[in-house]
Structures are given as C-alpha cells and as structure tokens.
Amino acid sequence: MLLAIDVGNTNITLGVFDGEELLGNFRVTTKINRTSDEFGVVFKDILRANDLDFAKVEDVIIASVVPAVMHSLTSSIIKYFNITPVIVEAGIKTGIRIATENPKQIGADRIVDAAGAFELYGGPVIVIDYGTATTYDLVDGTGAFMAGVTAPGIRISAKALWQDAAKLPEIEIKKPEKILAKETISSMQAGLVYGQIGQTEYIVKHMIEESGFENVKVVATGGLGNLISSETACIDIYNPNLTLYGMKFIYDKQKK
C-alpha cells in the first residue's frame, strides 16, 4: 500500500492506496509542535481504527506547504514505518513543466493538484483548490503550468469578518436560502458564499479569455469546493480527492 500525506496549512490529509484504488482518506489538524512520536502514533492509530494494516504500507509520499512540520513528520515515517518517504519538491518528476517566471515559488500543493487534473482530465485545464487560500491554476494542453491566481479562502474571509468587526458573530459557512438577507448571520453567509461564487466565475472567465485557450476544463477540489461547484456552471468537475490522486501519479513516475 501507498500512504500519501498532504500537509496543508489547516489540515493534514492522509490517503491510502492499494494499487490504483483509494481505500480511504483521513484528516488531522496541522500542528507545528507535534513530535515525531506523536505523528507516528496518530497515523498508526488512524489506520488501525479503519481496519487498514499499517504493516502493509510499502511506501510514503509527502507534499507539504508547511516547512516547520517536515522534520518531525519525516522522522516519524522513518521511525514508525521504517520507510524513507518521497518528498514532492524541486527536481522530482511530476509530469508538469513549470512555465512561470520563478518555478521555485510554486507550492507543492499546486503542482500536485495540477498533476492530478492533467492526468485525469487532460489539458488545457484550470484547477481551483478551495483550501486555506483559494487558488486558480492554468495548465495548458502539453502539461505546462502557465499561471496562477491566489485569493483568500472562504474561511480566511469569514475569520476576518468576525475577528475584525466587533459586532459580527462567528458563523457556520453555508449558502443561505436567498441572497436578500434580512438578518446578520444570513447576510454574512450570503456575502461569503455568493461572493466566492462571483469571484470564481469572474476569475475563470478572464483566465480563459487571456489565455486564448479553447475547450478549457475547470476542475475544483478542496474542503468547500463542493459548496461552490454545485452553484455555478463554470466548474465542470468537483473531485475532493484530486490532491491525493496527484500524489499517487507523481509517486508512480518516480518508480518508473
């Protein structure tokens, strides 16, 4: 089995593959101060609780946007799984050519998403990841990463509202019944959700216009991606496991 570990700013997502099949995916909170022992015990307990034999894990791949956790995390895999993990970093084979001005500035998460989308759906493709930040990345028909847009994620925007405006409460992020809100909570929900939908449609439209590409697929992923993708026709596909599949494809390229 292959254990894929995606380290995001908010959560660490684990994916377990048996051949081509994704057996399950699990999330834990990203905590910078975890020790290697804590990581090792948490990962083994999660696998055991889901009837997955950690002794059958033959390899591990890690993609991270949080450098501070990498020493403990990598050490935990070596110590508890007796495996030296594959790290998604500069120089690794991904199937994606970075055609931006400074390739080293492109985060591992965006490369992995691009690899997953291109492998599954071909190009040109726009990949939208609704994570801590909302990212929009353009991959052309040859697999070249051409450009990207970065915006505050929905949760970041929500936190800014209730932390910086004294009278606004912390709320659940969901789509209200209608945009014409008549009280505070639904008005905040309307602004957050419909605002994100509008942002998505505007950015996607102009990325396609400026690129000049035709028949561009738009693929979304990320925790709140389903909420947005179900409300706009500009998103063709929502794949919640796109990042994990991208890591699997990159792992396969290393072994070849």
Give SS3 for 163.
helix
All residues at 6 or more sequence positions from 110 whose CB lies less than 8 Å from its CB, including other chains: 127, 129, 135, 137, 145, 148
**Catalytic choice (109, 113, 129, 140):** 109
> Mind listing the pLDDT tens digit for each residue in 34-70?
999 999 999 999 999 999 998 999 999 999 999 999 9
**In CATH, which superfamily holds the domain spanning 2-87?**
ATPase, nucleotide binding domain (3.30.420.40)
Domain 2-87 identical in fold to domain 97-247: yes
CA trace torsion 188, 202, 13, 76 (10° rounding): -110
Tell me which fold the domain 97-247 belongs to: Nucleotidyltransferase; domain 5 (3.30.420)
What are 160's two structure tokens?
């800014």
Contact 26, 83 (CB under 8 A): no
How distant, in Å, are the alpha carbons of 52, 192, 212, 224 from that of 156?
Answer: 34, 10, 32, 12
Token couple for 65: 């946007």
As given in the structure block, the two tokens for residue 52 are: 């997955």
In a 13 Å sphere around the CA of 178, the CA atoms on its Cβ side amount to 4
Spans of all domains in the chain: 2-87, 97-247
**The pLDDT of residue 141:** 95
pLDDT tier for residue 103 given thresholds of 50, 70 and 90 = confident
Tens digits of residue pLDDT in 123-145 = 999 999 998 899 999 999 999 99
Q: Residue 187 carries which side chain, given as an amino acid letter? A: S
**Which DSSP category does 170 fall into?**
P
Is residue 158 over pLDDT 80? yes
Tokens for 27? 């999330």
DSSP state of 215: S
In this structure, how many other beta carbons lie within 10 angstroms of the beta carbon of residue 160? Answer: 12
Both structure tokens of 218: 């738009």
Whether 109 sits among the annotated catalytic residues: the reply is yes
Both tokens of 243, joined, read 């990042």
Amino acid at position 194, single letter: Y
